[in-house]
Structure 1
Amino acid sequence: MSSGSQPTAEGLSGPRVTQFSIFLSNRVGALLDVVKVLNERNIHVLAISVQDSADTAIVRIVVSDPESVQQIFLEHAIPFSICDLVVVELKEGATELGRLLAALLAAECNIFGSYALITRPRGRPALALHVEDNECAVSVLRSQQFTILSQSDISR
C-alpha cells in the first residue's frame, strides 16, 4: 500500500449521519414499542419526524448507534429504509436558518425533508437535512462557515 491512506467513506462525501425511515401501523403505542426496543439496547433516538396517514406512519429517526439498529430492526421484523443526512450545527441558533436556506437555494440544492435534533451536540442546536445532493450541500454550507456534524459528533 502506498504511503497515502485510502479515502474513507466520510472523506468521499463529507460527514455522514444515518436516517432510518420506519414503516409502522398507525396504532396507539407502535412508536413507543420501537423506542423501548432501542432503549433496551442502550440506543437513543437523537432526532425524530413522524408523518402519519389513516393506516400507516413513516417515522424518520436518527439514533446514537446506527450500526446496531439495522440488525435490531431485522430481528424484530420492523420494516425500514436507510439514507444519509447532512446535519448542520446552527452556532447562532434559529437566526441562521435563513442564511442556511439561502446558501442551499443559491446552489440549487433541493431539500426533501428536515427536522431538528432532540439533543444539542456541543450545546448548540442542529438541523438534520435530507437533501438532493449531500456533497453539494456539504460543500456549499462549509463555504458559508457552517459546521457539518458527523455521526460521531452527535452520538454519545
Structure 2
Amino acid sequence: MPKNYDSGDETETQTMRGRDWPCLRQFCVFLENRVGRLNDLMRQLESLDTRVIAMSIFDSVDFAMVRLMFNDADRAREKLELSGFLFSENDVVGVQLPEGEKPFHDVCSALVKAEVNIHHAYPLLYRRQGRGAIAMFVDDVDQALQILQEAGHRTITENDLHDDDEYL
C-alpha cells in the first residue's frame, strides 16, 4: 500500500531484500596481513546470533581479503559497520549439492551450458537432508539462478540459512 499523505495513513516499508531474497550475501573484509587480525575479526563477529557459515581467504604479502557468509546477513552487516573493518558486500548464488556421483560437475555443467562464468566458489557449513551446499560468485546472478532452477537444482535463500537443520 502506498502512503496516503493526505489521510495520515502509514504503510509498511517493503524492500526487495529480505530472508526470501533468491541469493545470498557475501561480505569481503579487508585485513592487514598481521598475526591476530583474523582472530580480532572473528572475536567481534561470531556470537550466538551471528554464525559464520562460510569463509574463504585470499592472502598476499601485505593484506588478506576474507570472504565471509553468515546465517544472518543483516546482523552481520551491523556488526561489521560497528567493528571498523573495511568491507564490501556482493550477491552470491547458493545451491544445494544434488545427490549423485558428481554433484559439483552437475552444478557447473548447468552454468557452463548457459555460458555463466563462476569467478569463485566455496562450501557452506550448511546441510539439509544430508546434503551440503556451495556458494558461487558468478558474472550474472539472475541468469545463474534461473538456469540452476530450470535444471532442477535447489537454490538457497537467506531464509534457508536460518532454518539449517544440521549445524556442522
TM-score by length of structure 2 reads 0.80
More displaced 10-residue stretch of structure 1: 43-52 or 23-32: 23-32
Q: Distance in 2 between matches of 1:77 and 1:65?
A: 19
Measured on the aligned residues, the alpha-carbon RMSD in Å equals: 2.3
Quick one: which amino acid aligns to residue 85 of structure 1? V
Bigger radius of gyration, 1 or 2?
2
Q: CA deviation at 1:42?
A: 2.9
Q: In structure 1, what is the equivalent of residue 158 of structure 2?
A: 151
Q: In structure 2, what is the equivalent of residue 82 of structure 1?
A: 89
Q: In structure 1, what is the equivalent of residue 108 of structure 2?
A: 101
Q: Distance in 1 between matches of 2:134 and 2:47?
A: 27
Give CA-to-partner distance per residue, 1:22-77, whole Å, 9 cap, x none: 00011122112111111246311101100100010000010111112222222221
SS across alignment from 2:144? helix
More displaced 10-residue stretch of structure 1: 84-93 or 51-60: 84-93
The number of equivalent residue pairs is 150
Q: Distance in 2 between matches of 1:36 and 1:9?
A: 31
Q: Distance in 1 between matches of 2:42 and 2:129?
A: 24
Q: Which runs of 5+ in 2 are unaligned?
A: 3-13, 164-168
SS across alignment from 1:71? helix
* Pick aligned residue for 1:135 from 118, 127, 142: 142
Give CA-to-partner distance per residue, 1:111-146, whole Å, 9 cap, x none: 111000123244311010101111100111111110
SS across alignment from 2:106? helix
Q: Percent identity?
A: 34
8 A contact 1:48–1:118 mirrored in 2: no
TM-score by length of structure 1 reads 0.86
Task: State the 4+ residue runs in structure 1 displaced beyond 4 angstroms.
Answer: none
Quick one: which amino acid aligns to residue 155 of structure 2? I
8 A contact 1:121–1:154 mirrored in 2: no
* Pick aligned residue for 1:18 from 25, 28, 45: 25
Q: Which runs of 5+ in 1 are unaligned?
A: none
8 A contact 1:86–1:137 mirrored in 2: yes
Q: Distance in 2 between matches of 1:142 and 1:49?
A: 26
8 A contact 1:93–1:124 mirrored in 2: no
